[in-house]
Amino acid sequence: MLILRVISGSAKGHKLKTKEGNSTRPTTDRVKESLFNIIAGYLEDATVLDIYSGTGSLGIEALSRGAKEAVFVDQSRECAGIIKDNLVHTKLLEKSQILNCDVRSAILKLSDAGRKFDLIFMDPPYRKNFVEETLNYLVNSDIIIDNGLIVAEHEEMDKVPEQVGEIKRFRSQKYGKTILSFYNKE
C-alpha cells in the first residue's frame, strides 16, 4: 500500500489515509514535491480547488504550505470520507469544504455561488480524456481568476489540448508515466 504524507508546511510529516485497492491513483511524493516546487509562488493566501480529489493530498499540501482555503471535489462517498479524515488529522478542516458530487455539478454549484479560484488541481482517472472535458467546464463557468493556474495530472495516452478558450497550456513536465500540464488563464 502506498503511504502518502504531507511534504512541507504546517502539516509536514502527517501521513494521509488512502483508499484501499487501485480505484484511485494518488500522486506520488516525488511528483508532488516537484509540482509544489514549480508552483511555490502561487500558494500564499491562494484559494484552491482540488477536483477529482481522491485522498485530498494536493489540496492538503497547498493548505499546509500557505493557501488560504481549499474546496475538495470527489463523487465517491468513500473518498469524501477519507478527505475529511485527512483534513481532521492535519488540522486543516476549518479551511476546507468538501463537495461529494461529480465534477460538473460541483463546478456549476461553485459558479452559481460566485466562487473564484487562484489555483485548480485536477487529477482525473487516466485514459478517459477527462482533462479536456473538465477544462471546458472551467472555461464556461468562469471560476478561475485572471492569471490563475490549473494543473492537470494525466498520462501520455490522455488527449490533452494546448488551449481551451482563454486557458492555455504553458508547460508540461513528465515523471515516469505521469505528466503534469500547467495551464493559465490569460
Category of 172 on φ-ψ map: left (φ > 0), alpha (ψ -120 to 50) or beta: beta
DSSP string, 121-157: EE-PPTTS-HHHHHHHHHHHHT-EEEEEEEEEEEETT
**Positions in the chain short of pLDDT 70:** 1-2, 21-26
Q: What was the pLDDT predicted at 45? A: 96
User: What are the helix and strand counts (H, E) for the chain?
Assistant: 5, 10
CA distance 90 to 96: 12
Per-residue confidence (pLDDT) for residue 29, from 0 to 100: 78
The class of domain 29-185 in CATH terms is: alpha beta
CA proximity to 118, closest of 37, 31, 44: 44
Give the model's pLDDT for residue 24: 55
How far is Cα 184 from Cα 126, in angstroms, rounded to an integer? 22
Q: Give the start-to-end residue ranges of the domains of the chain.
A: 29-185
Q: Which residues pair with 15 in a beta bridge?
A: 5
Task: Give the dihedral sign, CA 96/98/102/106.
Answer: negative
Q: Write down the pLDDT at residue 184.
A: 94
pLDDT at residue 2, as a whole number: 64
Q: Are 122 and 152 in contact (CB under 8 A)?
A: yes
C-alpha closest to that of 40 among 110, 119, 103, 105: 119
Which contacts of 35-41 are long-range, i.e. CB under 8 A and separated by 24 or more positions?
35/151, 35/180, 36/7, 36/8, 36/61, 36/62, 36/65, 38/171, 38/173, 38/180, 38/182, 39/119, 39/149, 39/151, 39/182, 40/65
Would you say how long the chain is, in residues? 186
Q: Which residue has the cell 465517491?
A: 76
Q: What is the pLDDT of residue 125?
A: 86
Q: What is the pTM of this model?
A: 0.94
